[in-house]
Every structure is written in C-alpha cells, then in structure tokens.
Chain A
Amino acid sequence: MIDNLLLLTQVPILGVDLVIQGLFIGAIFALVAYGLALVWGVMNVKNLAQGDMVILGGYISYQATLWGYHPIVALPVAIVVMFMLGWLIYAVIIRRVVDRDMFTSLLATFGLSLLIQQILNLIYGPEVKVADAGFGDFELGTFIVIQNVRLYSLLMAAALALAIVIFMKKSRMGQAIRATAQDARAARVLGIDTDQVYAFTYALNAAICGAAGVLVAMIWVIQPYYGIVYSIRAFIIVTAAGLGNLPGVILTGFGLGVWENVAGFVFGAEFAVAAVVLMLVAVLMYRLVQLYRVRQVVR
C-alpha cells in the first residue's frame, strides 16, 4: 500500500490516468444512480434489484454478440426489452409494495435481485463474460491510454441523461411523473393516473439500467453475481447526493468512480469492492452526523 502511494507521488501522471479512467466509469454509475433516484423519489421504492437489472442489460448485449451482432446494436434492444420487463415487474411485484413500509420494498426487490441472479446463472453459467466492442484505443499525451469504448460510452451516457432530462421537463408523462413525485395525492386529485405513472417510472428505470448494462458489458466484464455492487454504488450516490438533485448525482457519480479507481490502485484490487462498500457506510455515517447537528439546532 505504501509502495503504491510512493509510486503515485513519483509518477504523478499515473494519478492523472487513474482520475481520468475513474471519470469515465463514474458516468455509468451516475446513470444507474439517476434511475434509482427516480424510482426512490417518485414512488418511494428502494430498488435493491438495480444492479441486477444493469447486469441483465449487459447479458442482452452479450447475447447479441453470441448471435454475431455488434454489442452496440443491443443498446436500443436492451432499452426496449428492459422497459417492457420493468413494466411487468411493476405489475406483478412493485405495485403491491408502493404504499407499504420501506423495508418491504427493500426486501421484495432483494428477492427480485436473487431471482434475476439465479436465472442468469442458470442460463449463462457463473463464468465472467464480456461483450467485446473492438473499438481500439488512443493515446492522450505519452502515458495515458484511453480505450475508445470508454469515450463512446461516456458520450452515450451523456446523451441518454440529456434525453431523460428533456423528457422529464417537456413531455406530458415527464410532467406527470414530477407532479406525482411532489404530491401523489394531489396529482391523483388533478386526474393523473398515478398507477400508470408509477409503472412508467419503474419501466423507465429498468430501461436506464439496461442501457447502462450494455455499456458495462462493453467496458468491463459481467457475471451473474456482480449486480449487488452496482446497487450499492447507486445507493451511495443517491444517499450522498439526495433525491431530485441531478447535478449532485452526476458529480457524486464521477467522484465515486475516481475514488474506486484510486482506492483499487492504492489498496490493491482485492480491496476495491470493500472500498466501495465502506464508502457507503461512511456516507451513511456522515448523514447521521449531519442529522444530529440539525437536531441540536432544534433543541
């Protein structure tokens, strides 16, 4: 660990490389977290199956490569398929969870996450899979090598995020979603079919996850059990940034990507997941300290 730190001080360009790579992966984390913030904010469901939906999207693009297509072809397919799947999951499970206490939604989606993991495991086996895009890479300066696929996925993530933001601001459904998030009862009084809004929100979240999963499968590897770490990353980002705070979500996503990359380098790759999860505990503790401070003021 000390060696790695020394190496960083001696070769600062390495640090720059770590940060840049971290920013690229952070964009995808931010995308997944935005989906979670949407579902959390609108229908108050903590979707622990978030990461497994990402992995599911990844397997869709892997399946595309098995059939001889380029994985990028799978992006629109994954969005459509996951949207429909999200609607189905809402109709069967989430609808009955929305107005129950929060632990119920957490546990139900945890069961869902188990289900997705195990079905993927049965179909594709527990081996690590990759959907190779074959885009090559380019050099920035002398030391920093950037894979083109990371650059493209950053651009795609940005385009997706932009599309979602415009959709939420301009479209009729987007306005209905925001109205429901503010006050579901008032929205219902004003004639908004909140059940439909919930279904659409959950399906939209699934589609976002599916798209993120296609990018994940191209950049890294996928495996049926990798989902939980994506869920935890999304929870870290949303808990730290707060709901309905898109700039915050994006910034925290980038920050988490950088932290993960740097921590994985400094502490060693075997502690990378631990670094992410401990970050979750740290963020929760920070929130707690903040809360205590607020309570003190009230007293």
Chain B
Amino acid sequence: MTSSASLDLKLYGVLIAVAVLVPLFAPNYIQTVAVMWLMILMAMTWDITGGQMGYNSLGNVVFFGIGMYASAIVQISQFSDVADYTASFGAIVVDFTPGQYFTGLGLGLAAGGIAAAIFALLIGPAMLGLRGPYFAIGTLGLAIAVAELVSGWEYVGGGGGISMPVYPGPPAAGPFTFYILLGLLTLAAHLFVRWLYSTQFGLAINAIRDDEDKAEAMGIHTNRYKTIAWAVAAFFMGVGGAIFGNMSGFIEPLEVAFPTTTFGIFMVAMALLGGKGTLWGPVLGAVLFHIVKQVTWTYLLGWQWVALGAIIIINIVYFQQGILGWAQDKWPEAFGLTVDRGGAARPAAGEAAE
C-alpha cells in the first residue's frame, strides 16, 4: 500500500512541522501543545488494546501514575531518602548541576516505563482474562484502588504529594525541554505502533479482537499476546507519566498521577472520537479533543466540565464510529479497502457485535 505509506509520511511531516513551528512562532503555547503530545500518546496507546485488540480499558491511566511515581522515587532517591524528603514537606531542596539532573531524569524516565510495563506484565494475565464490560469495570476499579493505596502510602507523601526536583537553568528552558521530550516520545511511540501493527503481532491482536476463542483455537497464545500488547501500552504511558510529572513539578495521587475521571476517560473519548482501531484516528481525535477542550476552558468558565461530559456522551451515543471510521465508510477506496458492493453492508469494526 504505497499510497497509504506516502500519506503517513505527509502526516508525519505535518506533525513535525507543527512541533517545530510552535516554539518558533507561538512560544506561549508550548505547555498546551506539550499536553497535546501527551494526549496523542494516551489515545494512541489506549488504542493498542482498546481499538486493535478489543479490550476496552477504563483504567490505563494507572500506568501513567505508576510511571510518574517510579520516576519520582528514582530521581529523589539520588540525593535524599525518599521518606525523609516527603516528610519534610518541601523543606529539603537540592540544587542540581545540570549533569546530575539530567542523569536523574534519564534514569527516572527509564524507571517509569519499566515499572509500568512490569506492573502490566504482572497483572495482565489475571485482568486480561476478564472480558467485555468486566474488563472495563475491573480496570477502572484497579486504577481507583491504586490511586487510593498511593494516597495512603506515607513513604511517597500520601495524599500530600511530592515536589519533583527543580529544573536547573533558566525558567523558560524547562517547559521547552519537556515539550521536546513529549514530542519525541509521541513520535517514537507512533512509529513503533505503526511498525507493530504491520507485523504478525498486529494481525494476532486483531484476530483476538475479532474472535478471541477462534484465535485461540487457531493456535495463537492469546494470553501472551494480550499481556505483551498491554505492556507496550503501559511502557509508553509510564514514560509519558514520568515526563509529565517532571513537567508539572508537583505530583499528587488523585488529581495529577491517577486522574481516572479526567485523563483516564479522555483517552478513551479521544480514541473513539477519531475512530478506534485505526492508526491515525486516535491522533486526529486527540488533536480535535484538545482544541475543543482548550476553547471550552477559555470561554465557558465554570461550565467546562459539564460541556466535556456532554461532549463525551454525544460522541459515544451519536457518533461512535469516529471521524476516520465515518470517512472509511464513506470513501473506502481512499483507505485502500475494497468493498463488496453487491453483498449486504457489513458493520464497521467499531460497531461489531461483541
């Protein structure tokens, strides 16, 4: 499919152009666009299990929080005992040299991704045995449970949270660094996921989505594939969480690290808005969602959350196939799909009965 490959190249070009132009011409929007990279990352990694594998998780945000806390622990334990640090409520402040800081940051990001992936590998075999709505409810419960456990864990500051190490150097450089890091991570994740879907692994998880029992009967080790797919999503979410924790400078369990009712549900809504089970749908959905969110934030003071809830409901109830799903139905040839015009209309992937 050369046409779709060149389309991909063009889209990557657009993304990179945006990434380069924003700091040059609209430096005030760096933070906003950095969050947009994060949103794209979330929607895309959710789609690995949600769209491609048919396992709709409501609790993927748990990996985000675990990555954030793992990086915080690693970065802080470089210069201080974590328990002492959190008990001092910000009294202990260390000025890092840039070298120390970036070593810590690098270790922290790696630790964040690895911790989240290990967590996914540990709970995956158990949680992924649940099907359909039970998996969704179970993962939601898991995310809430971990958030509550962390809020009660004094070692990492409990509900009071932790201040992250302060970025060395001029104040404007910090957001810029994290902007670049999040952008690179998102790009890397997208390239990785694109490659992943083109391999046999992608076919296997699609088979699981279409009919898990049949896939198992065909000799696919469904449990292994499901767990690995979830761990891939977890790894990228973990690194993203680690970067976001450093970017916000202060982390706290309920609102920042495990925001089940905000980021946790946004990522699902974004993937569905763009069209789940497609490569670019989550990206498109995340960009649109983020723009709508920023506009409602600015102009609907106080009512933004209500508007957001309404958007989610409208999106899911009235427009579930998403933008790309709708476009695929309308112009299938542009996506390299062939349609049997003579036969009965087949339901789109998103609408398929369970």
Contacts and interface: CB of A to CB of B under 8 A. Distances in A.
Interface in A75-126: 93, 96-97, 100-104, 106-108, 110-112, 114-115, 117-119, 121-122
A125 to B, nearest CB: 11
Nearest to B308: A114
Contact of B130 (A46, A114, A284): A284
A121 B261 CA distance: 14
B137 interface: yes
Given A118-B305, A280-B138, A111 B129 contact: no
A273 interface: yes
A228 B320 contact: no
Given A114-B312, A281-B142, A284-B130, A93 B317 contact: yes
Interface in B110-129: 126, 129
A110 B58 CA distance: 10
A227 B7 CA distance: 45
B137 A288 contact: no
Nearest to B314: A111
Contacts of A114: 261, 265, 305, 308-309, 312
A277 interface: yes
A27 interface: no
Contacts of B144: 228, 232, 273, 277
Contact of B148 (A239, A271, A284): A271
Nearest to A96: B317
Given A114-B265, A268-B152, A271-B152, A106 B137 contact: yes
B136 interface: yes
Contacts of A292: 129
Assign chain B's interface to a size class: 35 or more
B145 A277 contact: yes
Contacts of A287: 134
A108 B136 CA distance: 13
A235 interface: yes
Contact of B313 (A93, A102, A268, A270): A93
B151 interface: yes
Interface in B257-279: 261, 265, 268-269, 272
Contact of B318 (A96, A110, A277, A280): A96
B353 A115 contact: no
B56 interface: yes
A20 interface: no
A112 B137 contact: no
Interface string B307-341: 01110110011101000000000000000000000
Contacts of B174: none
A274 interface: yes
Interface string B342-354: 0000000001111
| 10 closest A-B pairs by CB | A115-B309, A111-B312, A274-B148, A114-B309, A118-B305, A111-B313, A277-B145, A280-B141, A270-B152, A102-B133
Given A110-B265, A271-B149, A274-B148, 9 more contacts: A96-B317, A106-B58, A111-B269, A118-B309, A122-B303, A232-B144, A271-B152, A274-B145, A292-B129
Interface of A: 46, 93, 96-97, 100-104, 106-108, 110-112, 114-115, 117-119, 121-122, 228, 232, 235, 239, 268, 270-271, 273-274, 277-278, 280-281, 284-285, 287-288, 291-292
